[in-house]
């Protein structure tokens, strides 16, 4: 299916690896020119080169921490008026809430709630003026099914989700949609880091935990970044203009409710 995105521009934050890279790749395949960001320049440039070579689109890079004011300003300077915004950033660390002080909470809220909101604020009115905009926030399956040790993530991302639920109903009449993708377990560095963390606490090896987690998923496996990216590209498509304020859970069926 042709997604009607050729020649559009997307800002994909935290796009050098993992889920963000999957989104960037799928959008590029649809002919979208990209600005991608990440903190580490080496992986960022390697990913940009890979996307250019594979799909022939224009890819610009911005190295910086998207959760900082400077990082956001640099990203927006490089891409002030995207047609598509994919909001992504690293997740907060796991831990015990008794050890989290105010600064820890503020950092998590800034990273996974305030940063995407500020980026939406910067781009949404030009999207409305052009009568086309697609915003996809990468959140987490933990928004629906909290993971106890990821309390910082559960809290910050649910705050973002609640805010967007209201905003998304005000922009859709201008053909500007805002949706979230909620990843369950996907094959990325981040997933491996979670196994490493839990291995230190459980006495099992990370490899054992990994095998058990994949086996316990109804699909018997983890998701791929290509599957994730293709879902993102569809939400960004011309055809998806009637889908807004939704939270699409991609977890291989792990969430046990009747309504996903």
Q: Is the CB of 192 or the CB of 239 nearer to ligand NAP?
A: 192
Q: Is the CB of 132 or the CB of 252 nearer to ligand NAP?
A: 252
Question: Which residues in the 192-251 window bind ligand NAP by CB under 6 A?
Answer: none
Spell out, one character per residue from 147 to 186, where the chain touches ligand NAP: x when CB under 6 A holds, - when not: ------------------------------------x-xx
Q: Are 203 and 158 in contact (CB under 8 A)?
A: no
Spell out, one character per residue from 119 to 148, where the chain touches ligand NAP: x when CB under 6 A holds, - when not: -------------------x-xx-------
Question: Which residues in the 74-93 window bind ligand NAP by CB under 6 A?
Answer: 88-91
Among 2, 40, 80, 106, binds ligand NAP (CB under 6 A): 40
Dist CA 163 CA 142 (whole Å): 17
Helices vs strands, H then E, count in the chain: 9, 7
Q: Which SS3 state, helix, strand or coil, does residue 74 take?
A: helix
Burial class (CB in 10 A: 0-12, 13-18, 19+), 160: buried
For residue 39, state whether it binds ligand NAP (rule: CB under 6 A).
yes
Q: Are 75 and 37 in contact (CB under 8 A)?
A: yes
Say which DSSP state 110 is in.
Answer: I
Dist CA 102 CA 95 (whole Å): 14
Binding site for ligand NAP (CB under 6 A): 14, 16-20, 37-40, 43, 65-67, 71, 88-91, 138, 140-141, 183, 185-186, 188-191
């Amino acid at each position: 299916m042709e997604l009607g995105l050729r020649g559009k521009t997307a800002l994909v934050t935290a796009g050098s690896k993992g889920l963000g890279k999957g989104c960037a790749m799928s959008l590029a395949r649809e002919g979208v020119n990209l600005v991608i960001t990440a903190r580490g320049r080496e992986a960022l440039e390697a990913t940009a080169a890979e996307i250019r070579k594979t799909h022939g689109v224009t890819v610009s890079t911005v190295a910086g921490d998207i959760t900082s004011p400077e990082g956001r300003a640099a990203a927006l300077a490089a891409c002030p008026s995207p047609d598509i915004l994919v909001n992504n950033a690293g997740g907060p660390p796991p831990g015990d809430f008794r050890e989290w002080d105010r600064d820890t909470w503020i950092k998590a809220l800034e990273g996974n709630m305030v940063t995407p909101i500020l980026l939406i604020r910067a781009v949404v009115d030009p999207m409305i003026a052009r009568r086309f905009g697609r915003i996809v926030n990468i959140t987490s399956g933990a928004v629906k099914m909290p993971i106890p040790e990821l309390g910082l993530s559960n809290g910050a991302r649910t705050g973002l989700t609640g805010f967007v639920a209201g905003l998304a109903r005000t922009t859709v009449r201008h053909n500007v949609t805002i949706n979230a993708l909620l990843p369950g377990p996907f094959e990325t560095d981040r997933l491996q880091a979670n196994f490493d963390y839990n291995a230190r606490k459980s006495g099992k090896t990370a490899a054992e935990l990994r095998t058990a987690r994949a086996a316990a998923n109804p699909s018997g496996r983890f998701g791929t970044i290509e599957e994730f990216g293709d879902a993102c590209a569809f939400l960004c498509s011309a055809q998806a203009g009637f889908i807004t304020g939704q939270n699409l859970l991609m977890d291989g069926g792990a969430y046990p409710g009747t309504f996903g």
